[in-house]
């Protein structure tokens, strides 16, 4: 097979077109791996809606929640980011937004290396298109070259971890880091009552992270009941509130406060990305509580209406965006430990790697007909 089929988007609003690109020769510090599965992320939907704040190197291949198996590897690429051996047949994941390790933020603020000035994204540095073909996970194969992009990180997954499950490590890491941010600032302790705003894939995985990190009670505010809120309860949310049954503002806040009881939630985490979530969420908190914003595309301006409430309620407000390279390994380990305790497979709806399949996956995710649309080029490998 001298060609690799990849799905390319020409720009916002465009459908994926599958085309064949030459199969690359493998330099000493590069690898080619067969893609088993790749999740469709809310970020992909935003990028396709034209919301990404920086210029993107269109046309390119989306898909960054990707797992696969190494098929070819250069002789000098012996270990993954954590020092695990890399060999043909090894299961791996390649996360996006990996820090370059050399820019001002990477050198001086390593805990905020997620704000690297030149992160590796979709196999490229943002804004720079470099030959040969490097692509994202909506493809049959993925190619990485650590000489071309030294910031690229490869993580070997446990041999017995199904590759469909491995695609959840990256979004779970986003949630883990958000709770870790809260914990490190004194805003999250074992036994705390947590309210999660948003019941999409990140909301569901935030339930996992909250419980795994010791939350006492977890309540999810979102919609729709099927499939999303029902799934949150199967993941261990004690209660859910369907926002379609409660008007925005006071009615919704009151309903949540009734469930939470007492003085309000210790921690509210916004995974909804919805502009109204901030003002509502801080009113679900007890005074002195902590609010974490992890909806990457929230219009923060909408929070201004309640800006003074941050003072009068004496609360902490934190942002958490993506993750560092070390966070990813924590996410893989959490997923591995937790895999039997949650119905992870129920999160995923699988779609084939065809132009129609990709279009359906994106449409299903956008319309919230599923929780996590996942493009699966190789069912047997993914299972």
Question: Which residue ranges make up the site for Zn ion (CB under 5 A)?
Answer: 99-100, 103, 106, 116
For residue 293, give the nearest of 312, 273, 307 by alpha carbon. Answer: 273
- Considering the complex, state which of residue 103 and residue 364 has its C-beta at the smaller distance from Zn ion: 103
- Considering the complex, state which of residue 145 and residue 360 has its C-beta at the smaller distance from Zn ion: 145
In whole angstroms, the minimum distance from the beta carbon of 151 to Zn ion comes to 7
In whole angstroms, the minimum distance from the beta carbon of 106 to Zn ion comes to 3
- Considering the complex, state which of residue 58 and residue 104 has its C-beta at the smaller distance from Zn ion: 104
In whole angstroms, the minimum distance from the beta carbon of 113 to Zn ion comes to 6
Sequence-ordered list of residues with C-beta below 8 angstroms from that of 264, at least 6 positions apart, any chain: 257, 284, 285, 286, 287, 289
In whole angstroms, the minimum distance from the beta carbon of 296 to Zn ion comes to 19
- Give φ, ψ of 102 to 5 degrees: -125, -15
Axis crossing angle, helix 277-284 with helix 250-260, rounded to the nearest 10: 30
Q: Which residues of 47-56 are buried (b: 16+ CB within 10 A; e: fewer)?
A: bbeeeeeeeb
- Considering the complex, state which of residue 116 and residue 141 has its C-beta at the smaller distance from Zn ion: 116
In whole angstroms, the minimum distance from the beta carbon of 293 to Zn ion comes to 23
- DSSP per-residue letters across 209-230: HHHHTT-SEEEEEES-IIIIIH
Bridge partners of residue 7, in order along the sequence:
18
How many CA atoms does the CB half-sphere of 332 hold within 13 Å? 26
Q: Would you call 154 helix, strand, or coil by DSSP?
A: coil
- Considering the complex, state which of residue 106 and residue 284 has its C-beta at the smaller distance from Zn ion: 106
In whole angstroms, the minimum distance from the beta carbon of 152 to Zn ion comes to 13
What is the C-alpha separation between 100 and 309, in angstroms, rounded? Answer: 38
- Considering the complex, state which of residue 66 and residue 126 has its C-beta at the smaller distance from Zn ion: 126
């Amino acid at each position: 097979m001298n060609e690799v089929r990849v799905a390319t988007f020409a720009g916002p609003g465009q459908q994926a077109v599958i085309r064949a690109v030459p199969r690359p020769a493998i330099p000493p510090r590069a690898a080619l791996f067969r893609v088993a599965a790749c999740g469709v992320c809310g970020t992909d939907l935003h990028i396709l809606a034209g919301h990404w704040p920086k210029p993107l190197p269109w046309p390119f291949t989306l898909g960054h929640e990707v797992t696969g198996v190494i098929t070819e590897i250069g002789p000098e690429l012996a270990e993954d980011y954590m020092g695990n051996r890399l060999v043909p047949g090894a299961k791996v994941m390649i996360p996006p937004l990996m820090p370059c390790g050399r820019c001002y933020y990477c050198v001086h603020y390593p805990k905020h290396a997620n704000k690297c000035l030149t992160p590796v994204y979709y196999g490229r540095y943002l804004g720079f298109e470099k030959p040969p073909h490097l692509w994202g996970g909506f493809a049959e194969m993925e190619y990485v070259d650590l000489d071309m992009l030294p910031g690229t990180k490869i993580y070997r997954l446990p041999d017995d971890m199904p590759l469909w499950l491995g695609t959840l490590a990256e979004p779970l890491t986003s949630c883990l880091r958000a709770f870790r941010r809260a914990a490190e600032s004194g805003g999250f302790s074992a036994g705390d009552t947590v309210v999660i705003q948003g019941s999409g894939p990140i909301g569901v995985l935030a339930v996992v992270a909250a419980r795994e990190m010791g939350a006492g009670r977890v309540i999810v505010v979102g919609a729709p009941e099927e499939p999303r809120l029902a799934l949150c309860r199967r993941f261990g949310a004690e209660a859910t509130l369907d926002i379609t049954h409660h008007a925005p503002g006071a009615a919704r806040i009151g309903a949540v406060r009734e469930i939470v009881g007492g003085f309000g939630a210790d921690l509210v985490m916004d995974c909804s990305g919805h502009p109204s979530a901030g003002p509502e969420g801080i009113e679900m908190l007890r005074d002195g509580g902590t609010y974490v914003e992890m909806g990457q595309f929230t219009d923060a301006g909408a929070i201004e209406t309640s800006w003074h409430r941050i003072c009068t309620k004496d609360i902490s407000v934190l942002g958490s965006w993506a993750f560092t390279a070390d966070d990813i390994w924590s996410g893989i380990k959490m997923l591995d430990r937790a895999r039997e305790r949650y119905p992870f497979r129920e999160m995923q709806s699988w779609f084939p790697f065809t132009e129609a399949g990709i279009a359906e996956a994106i449409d299903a995710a956008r319309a919230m007909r599923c929780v996590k649309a996942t493009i699966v080029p190789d069912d047997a490998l993914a299972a």
